[in-house]
Structure 1
């Protein structure tokens, strides 16, 4: 999304709308499996020597469920403000003001950055989608917490009734404790 700076000066405040393909975010090392085109609504103003862009970004990304790894649709709406200037000393004084050297500004990298900041740490699928998830696979099975506690109690009861064989690597350590008990 390229914005000519002359349009901002001529038509202040300059409003713009558009759609931006950000599918290259899927290739990055993040949880985004798929992402729709992002709808961008923006307004640009010139405040002193700073171009201020107020952006609203809307779209939908597909993320993995934290429990089952099934696809979860995550709609997002981000409000962001980005500041730019053509004056070198203004950009060096403020961290949040980016220096631009051309007469046009490509907002795509800044839009992508704001989308990446919006990706949640984890999302959970609806209960309907949970029923579609597999309950077991090769070498694993999904259990409820109650089932897991019951299984642990059964295992604990079985272990209390018999002596466990000593690990051969720890046999010499067992002899040390046997000597200590005989001396008492």
Structure 2
């Protein structure tokens, strides 16, 4: 989503609406498994040398369930305000104004950033039952509490019966003396 700064200044307030492909977010190191094209709609106002973008991002992403790891569709809608300026000395560290040194502004990185900020920490599937929970994987099994207690008792019993290999020759020491 690229904007010509001259066109924005000439037609301010400038309204825009577009559908943007952000599937690059799927390949990043985050929980987004799939994301549809997002709808971006907003307005740009000019205040001196500052361009103020106010826009809404709407879309749908697929995230893993926190309990079962099944796909959960998550619809989102977020509002964002980004400010840009063409004058370098107006940019201060304490303000959220970005400096532009070109005639064309690409809003796509800011759209992606706002989408990533919208990803929730956890989502839960409505169909999260014991039937569709992933119960085993490579090197692990999901156990019910009763099964866990039985396995724990069995392991403790085996530990008691196990003889240290360094002392295995002494295991029959007392048996030989009684004969």
Q: State the TM-score, normalized to the length of structure 2.
A: 0.78
Give the conservation status (yes or no) of the 8 Å contact 2:67–2:128. Answer: no
| Counterpart contact for 1:19–1:37, Cα < 8 Å | yes
Matched ranges for 1:145-184 at <5 A = 147-148=144-145, 150-154=146-150, 164-165=160-161, 168=164
Q: Give the aligned partner of residue 20 of structure 2.
A: 20
> Where does structure 1 lack aligned partners over 5 or more consecutive residues?
172-184
RMSD: 2.9
Report the Cα offset of residue 28 of structure 1: 1.0
**Pairwise mapping of residues 1-184 of structure 1 onto structure 2 (< 5 A)?**
1-92=1-92, 94-127=94-127, 131-136=131-136, 140-143=140-143, 147-148=144-145, 150-154=146-150, 164-165=160-161, 168=164
8 Å contact 1:70–1:129 — kept in the other structure? Answer: no
1:2-38 Cα offsets, whole Å, 9 max, x none, are 1111222222211100000111111111111111001
- Cα separation, partners in 2 of 1:42 and 1:166, compared to 1, 3 Å: same
Question: Normalising by the residue count of structure 1, what TM-score does the alignment of the two structures yield?
Answer: 0.76
The residue aligned with 1:177 is none
Q: Matched residues in 2 for 1:163 and 1:97: separation?
A: 65
Aligned length: 167
Deviation at 1:104, TM superposition (A): 1.6
Describe the SS at the equivalent of 1:59. strand
- 8 Å Cα contact 2:68/2:128 also seen in 1: no
Distance in structure 1 (CA, Å) of the matches to 2:155 and 2:21: 60
| Deviations 1:148-179, CA, capped at 9 Å, x for gaps | 1x3455467668989824773998xxxxxxxx
1:130 and 1:165 map into 2 onto residues whose CA distance is 36
Q: Which runs of 5+ in 2 are unaligned?
A: 168-179
Q: What is the rounded CA distance, in whole Å, between the counterparts of 2:159 and 2:26 in structure 1?
A: 55
In the alignment, the residues of structure 1 paired with residue 156 and residue 115 of structure 2 have an alpha-carbon distance, to the nearest angstrom, of: 55
